[in-house]
Structure 1
Amino acid sequence: LVAIGTVADCATVLGENRILIKYGLIVIKKTRRRGLQNILKYCLGNRPTYDSTLIGFRIAPRINAAGRISHPESSLKLLITENVLEADVLAKDLHDLNSKRQQQTLESLKQAKEQLQAAILTDKILIAKHKDWHPGIVGLIAGRLTEQYHRPSIIFHEREDGVLVASARSTEQFNIIQAITQQKDLLLRFGGHAQAAGCSLEQAHYETFCEKMRALTNASLSDDDLYPILNIDCELRPDQITMDLKQQIDTLEPYGIGNERPLFLLRNVELHRITPVGKNGSHVQLWFHTPAATLKGIGFQQGHLAQTLSTGEQVDVACHLLVNTWNGQTSLELEVVDIQRAQ
């Protein structure tokens, strides 16, 4: 539970935290907790790998789903129950809630992008509101927007009493809580830190708040700040991408904040094929031709690449190495972080 909480709360994976997570993953693999045993059935699937992504992308989202769109009591019961049947029911409920949360997030994110079409082209901060966006997912929407467009995002949910409640996310270049604090005369409540915050205000103050936040970001951020900087750890040749290399890299696990997965660069490879996958085409599968081999890749939340890239182009690829297990077959893939046309 310590390992799950440390990863889920986005704590740094350094020092004693890294040790707690490393050995926590070993304990999770042989856990006797009925609830964890059952939730793992949904989390592992065809990928029986016990690493930090198992917690961050599979266990934690399911446990958090109840608190986001239902009631967190279900998650607590799952973690403490000793009843086999109750554990099975609770695990399925949380899995279903997480699927519902994912669908709601995708639909709301699409609405937000449609609402922000003009702002994406002109503004250095993205601010949107909607009465139908669930308060438990506005932070996820803000995070996705900031990740894709590399600028601060503030997403509001409109309560029945008319009060607007927001979650905000930002980049390293802009201190979002400092900016929000400067608007305290307009706010009912606020709090957070440099890259994640929240606030609430009356509907009547919304436009003024937006104008002041736009003015602050325009004064603080340059056009260059709207482009993410990737810290490449190493450039690889295609023939160096082997399962042996991946196994050596995995000795650096567990990864997380402060101990990020190594990011590699492949230069001047041919994009042979690109196909949208997932609900609403939010992800893409890619194939790259190289003299050494054809490399397969996956781009999570990179669906937009299907509209911006053409097959046959020579591209530079920033990626992590990923082991994919499907139907008993294990293969090495590229987890694509970014692509640009070869220079």
Structure 2
Amino acid sequence: MVLTRTENGLKGSARSIEEYNVFEGLNKSKDYLIKFGGHPMAAGLTLSEDNLESFRMDMLRNSTLQGDDLIPKVTIDAKLSPGVITTAFVKSLSRLEPFGKANPKPIFAEKNLLISQIYLLGKDKDHLKLVFSSNGVSVEGIYFYGVRIIKDHFREVHKMEVDDLSKALKNTKCDILFYPDINSYNGNSKVQLKISDFRISDQ
């Protein structure tokens, strides 16, 4: 919520998340407002500056948000195990193109993938190539700028500072979000997962 001083009081706009209906929230605190309007995900409001602190406290008191509501959520299109991600399957996804705002690229996921090999790529060694194993099937994944992102994951989630990422990830299980692609090099083509998010699997 952002408010700006004007000659007619404080005017502002609010944006919300799916877990919180901001219009209903404002309606519960309408006694402190001059006017308001909007819908569950966005709203506009006007109030006297004298009522600002009372309005803020009332909004907090009436809020139904819980800690878990503030955790970012991703909706996936399907879970895919390495065994079903064949070259033919990846090529078939091209029928869904072109991707864009009205036709977003699918998001796939898999859990408990064993990391069997780790390679640092790029001039600054900031990209990762990971080899995953699952049920006897191996597949490569590429994670651009993954070194920094995964180190941040260890620091923020596991409260660990990691210097040697290869050692930390070797034989570790992880969950990933990805889109499968075909990597062609020197006349050879194979499936490669383009990783968009990563976390260490729950043990």
Q: Which of the five TM-score ranges fits, normalised by the shorter chain?
A: 0.5 to 0.7
Paired letter, 2:110: L
Match of 1:295 in 2: 141
Q: Distance in 2 between matches of 1:332 and 1:223?
A: 36
**Taking CA–CA contacts closer than 8 Å with sequence separation of 6 or more, which of the two structures ends up with the larger relative contact order?**
2
The question of 1:336 aligning with 2:181 is answered: no
TM-score normalized with structure 1 length: 0.39
For the pair 1:319 / 2:178, whether they are aligned, the reply is: yes
2:77 pairs, out of 205, 208, 233, with 233
Deviations along 1:237-287, one digit per CA (max 9) or x if unpaired, are: 335445643442343355657x66433222224394799xxxxxxxx9554
Paired residue for 1:168? 14
Whose helix fraction is larger, Structure 1's or Structure 2's?
A: 1
Per-residue CA deviations over 1:291-336 (Å, capped at 9, x if unaligned) read 4343112489xx7654223531431113344789xxxxxx955242
Going from structure 1 to structure 2, the CA distance change for 1:262 and 1:232 (only over 3 Å counts) comes to same
- The Cα shift of 1:157 comes to 4.5
Q: Which 4+ runs in 1 deviate beyond 6 A?
A: none
Assess if the C-alpha contact under 8 Å between 1:318 and 1:337 holds in 2.
yes
**Identity rate of aligned residues, in percent?**
25
Residue 106 (structure 2) aligned to one of 256, 262, 269: 262
Structure 1 segment 198-217 matched on structure 2, within 5 A: 198-217=44-63
Residues 188 and 321 (structure 1 numbering): CA distance in 2 closer, same or farther, change over 3 Å?
A: farther
Q: Distance in 2 between matches of 1:159 and 1:186?
A: 16
Aligned residue type for 1:169: R
Give SS of 2:130's match: strand
Q: Is the 8 A contact 1:243 1:332 kept in 2?
A: no
Give 1:308's aligned residue.
153
Unpaired segments ≥5 residues, structure 2: 155-161, 184-190
Report the Cα distance in structure 2 between the residues aligned to 1:244 and 1:163, rounded to whole angstroms. Answer: 62
| Preserved contact between residue 269 and residue 314 of structure 1 (Cα < 8 Å) | yes
Q: Which amino acid aligns with 1:171?
A: I
Matched-pair contact (CA < 8 Å) for 1:299–1:335: no
The question of whether the paired residues in 1 share the 8 Å contact of 2:139 and 2:192 is answered with no
Structure 2 letter corresponding to 1:194? P
Q: Which has the higher strand share?
A: 2
C-alpha root-mean-square deviation of aligned residues, in Å?
A: 4.0
8 Å CA contact 1:234–1:264 kept in 2: the answer is yes
- The letter for the 2-side match of 1:248 is S
Higher-Rg member (1/2): 2
Worse-matched range after superposition: 177-186 or 333-342: 333-342
Quickly say closer, same or farther: Cα 1:295–1:337, change in 2 above 3 A.
closer
For residue 14 of structure 2, give the secondary structure of its aligned residue in structure 1: strand
SS, match of residue 290 in structure 1 = strand
Are the aligned partners of 1:322 and 1:335 in contact in 2 as well (CA < 8 Å)? Answer: no
1:287 and 1:294 in contact (8 A); partners too: yes
Distance 1:318 1:251 in 2: 21
What's the secondary structure of 2:52's corresponding residue?
Answer: helix
